[in-house]
Chain A
Amino acid sequence: GQQLNQSPQSMFIQEGEDVSMNCTSSSIFNTWLWYKQDPGEGPVLLIALYKAGELTSNGRLTAQFGITRKDSFLNISASIPSDVGIYFCAGQPMRFGAGTRLTVKP
């Protein structure tokens, strides 16, 4: 089946630092989605990307849909403690990456 490779698996950063994580696939996707999941809750959508090459921002978050349609990245600028959680990419509604666990030290 379609595999999404998400990296890094985990990140430990200092408050105020910028963060970058990415997702790659062997298959082409028409939609890339980025979700954040807090403990005990379901994933919450952060950013949706629908066009190859598209760059979209949502506050301190910026995500890009790779031109080949096989990859995407998510950047978080000026991290704050509430950014802690697990970030998932999804190449389409039915396939998720394994997640990037983010820890922010105050």
Chain B
Amino acid sequence: GAGVSQTPSNKVTEKGKYVELRCDPISGHTALYWYRQSLGQGPEFLIYFQGTGAADDSGLPNDRFFAVRPEGSVSTLKIQRTERGDSAVYLCASSTGNSPLHFGNGTRLTVT
């Protein structure tokens, strides 16, 4: 596709459930980033992949959060035992390395 695609666009889940958020980066982009954005705030870095490996996961808030990118393209952000405080827009971005990021439109996660 022409841009970064994130699915679903909206996800409502109950507290304690497990969720998966998907990101399809721009074809050929080796770098992939996940961010979390709360209302009225800037994007907060979570994790960065270079190819298949997580080059920097220092932004993951705790061990309930995990992300994979097994084939170096599509990535999945996984959240276990969701809490109400996890409610936010989760943004994915990709780039060719040192080039600026191209963002998707995000997945709005609501934990009830």
Contacts A94-B33, A94-B56, A94-B59: A43 and B103 contacting too (C-beta < 8 A)? Answer: yes
A45 close to B (CB within 8 Å): yes
Q: State the Cβ distance, B10 to closest chain A Cβ, in Å.
A: 10
One digit per residue, 1 when the CB lies within 8 angstroms of any chain B CB and 0 when it does not, for chain A 24-68 equals 000000000101000011111100100000000000000000000
State which size class the interface on B falls in: 20 to 34
Are A98 and B91 in contact (CB-based, < 8 A)? no
Q: A42–B106 Cα gap in the complex (Å)?
A: 6
**CB pair A94 B45 closer than 8 Å:** yes
Q: Looking at the complex, which one of A6, A40, A44 makes contact with B103 (CB distance below 8 Å)?
A: A44
A98 touches B42 (CB 8 A): yes
B42 touches A41 (CB 8 A): no
A44 to B101, CA, bound (A): 8
A96 at the interface (CB under 8 A from B): yes
Most chain A Cβ neighbours within 10 Å, of B40, B41, B42, B102: B42
B30 contacts the other chain (Cβ, under 8 Å)? no
A73 proximal to B (CB < 8 A): no
* Extra pairs beyond A41-B106, A43-B43, A44-B103 (8, CB < 8 Å): A6-B42, A35-B103, A42-B4, A45-B101, A48-B100, A93-B33, A93-B100, A99-B41
A: residues with CB less than 8 A from B are 4, 6, 33, 35, 40-45, 48, 88, 93-99
Residues on B close to A: CB < 8 A? 4, 33, 35, 40-45, 48, 56, 59, 91, 93, 95, 100-106
